[in-house]
Amino acid sequence: MPRSAEVVVVGSINVDQVVTTDRLPLPGETLIGTSMTLLPGGKGANQAVAAARRGAATTMVGAVGDDVHAEAALPLLVASGVDVGRVGVAAGPTGLAVVTVGSDSENTIVVVPGANASVDEEAVARHSEVVSGAAVVVLQGEIPVSGIERAARLATGRLVLNLAPVVAVSAEVVRLADPLVLNEHEGRLLLEMIAPDAAGRLAGRESSDSSTGASSSDASSAGADTADAAVVAELRALGTASVVLTRGAAGALVSDASGSWSVPSPRVRAVDSSGAGDAFVGALSAALASGSSLLEAAQEAVRVGAYSVTTAGTQPSYPGLDDDLPGTDEQVTAIEVTA
């Protein structure tokens, strides 16, 4: 069918209120902060910005509140070329993340969903035409489950399901993902939630590897590779067409019907890793929309994610097509994933 947009992101839009202090306050204690900054955020908005900056015609479906914070939530989406005509206005506050950062880089975060809580099944259904017409639909876990599941079922193009955070979606919706994108911790949490037998097998395998020394300090990297490949195998065994397991500085594991690979990440000097996962997902989605294979898209996405950590902030750190992405001398390697 004709596609009305290359990438449609259905997800959260937040404002991040970042307060820096010399140290984190104790319970009941009042401290004087050293700075306060309002920054655009939310996993949905971050991924939409990342996709648009990598050249995809991108539409955002979500909501902001009718408060003053809405003005701070949207400018980078608009400046990046994202179509925000499907962003509604809900009575009440815009989604807000209150972040306190100490001088030792430790932080506390409190997220108030605000208008994001209105992006439910009914709200998504109002945009069924644009969702069903997308080449790639991108979802995360920061809107109501009913909204996630409705968007997943409306999608006729490729569904990129990034369950971050892990929320209680049905196994049926997980099986619609192509790919399912999770980090290693989220992968285990999802298995515990919808496939306890698989989670038990995984735990038993990891316990056995530990007892035989497979995860000792002199083989920790190989042990982690094996453990993460096992997570991918169990996720594929759920009936999911493809899985991408993100691993931070270690890159990503990619598995679909054509094979499974370990994709290394470039080595860079990290300044701020916040939002790197969203940069990866947005870039992956843009590459898939352009016709790249999943492996090719992941190779692009790890470079975009690495680029993003070299600059402070989330959305402002995402590269455009004219920016030089870091490269790596390491090669993609085929891996075996067996449940």
What is residue 270's predicted lDDT score, i.e. its pLDDT? 84
- The whole-angstrom separation of Cα 154 and Cα 157 is 9
* CB-CB contact of 7 with 58 (8 Å): yes
- Write down the pTM of the prediction: 0.91
- Residue 222, phi then psi, degrees to nearest 5: -65, -40
Segment 20-27 mean pLDDT: 90
Question: Containing H/E element for 213?
Answer: none
pLDDT higher than threshold 70 for residue 212: no
Residue 20 CB-density burial (10 A; 0-12 exposed, 13-18 middle, 19+ buried): middle
* CB-CB contact of 62 with 45 (8 Å): yes
pLDDT higher than threshold 90 for residue 128: yes
Torsion sign, CA atoms 138, 142, 147, 150: positive
- The larger pLDDT score, comparing residue 65 to residue 3, is at 65
pLDDT in tens, 260-269: 999 999 999 8
pLDDT higher than threshold 90 for residue 214: no
* CB-CB contact of 200 with 157 (8 Å): no
Unique residue bearing structure tokens 């949490």: 189
Closest CA to 190 of 175, 205, 210: 175
Closest CA to 140 of 166, 114, 116: 166
Confidence of residue 213 (pLDDT cuts 50, 70, 90): low
- The larger pLDDT score, comparing residue 24 to residue 313, is at 24
Query: Above pLDDT 70, what percent of the chain?
Result: 93
Pairing of strands 5-10, 243-246: unpaired
CB proximity list for 50: less than 8 A, separation 6 or greater: 278, 279, 280, 281, 282, 283, 286, 304, 308, 315, 318
Confidence of residue 1 (pLDDT cuts 50, 70, 90): very low
pLDDT higher than threshold 80 for residue 60: yes
What is residue 26's predicted lDDT score, i.e. its pLDDT? 92
What is residue 220's predicted lDDT score, i.e. its pLDDT? 55
pLDDT in tens, 136-147: 999 999 999 999
pLDDT in tens, 276-335: 999 999 999 999 999 999 999 999 999 999 999 888 778 999 999 999 999 988 999 999
What is residue 196's predicted lDDT score, i.e. its pLDDT? 84
What is residue 206's predicted lDDT score, i.e. its pLDDT? 67
What is residue 222's predicted lDDT score, i.e. its pLDDT? 64
What is residue 287's predicted lDDT score, i.e. its pLDDT? 97
Residues acting as catalytic residues: 278
Distances (CA, A) of 147 to 62, 82, 139, 140, 263: 10, 21, 9, 10, 32
In three-state secondary structure terms, 22 is: coil
Helix axes 220-237, 196-211, angle to 10 degrees: 160
- The larger pLDDT score, comparing residue 108 to residue 239, is at 239
Unique residue bearing structure tokens 């993100």: 246
* CB-CB contact of 228 with 247 (8 Å): yes
Confidence of residue 191 (pLDDT cuts 50, 70, 90): very high
pLDDT higher than threshold 70 for residue 163: yes
Specify the CATH architecture of the domain 5-25+33-334: 3-Layer(aba) Sandwich (3.40)
What is residue 208's predicted lDDT score, i.e. its pLDDT? 66
- The whole-angstrom separation of Cα 96 and Cα 200 is 37
Domain ranges of the chain: 5-25+33-334
Return mean pLDDT, the chain.
Answer: 91
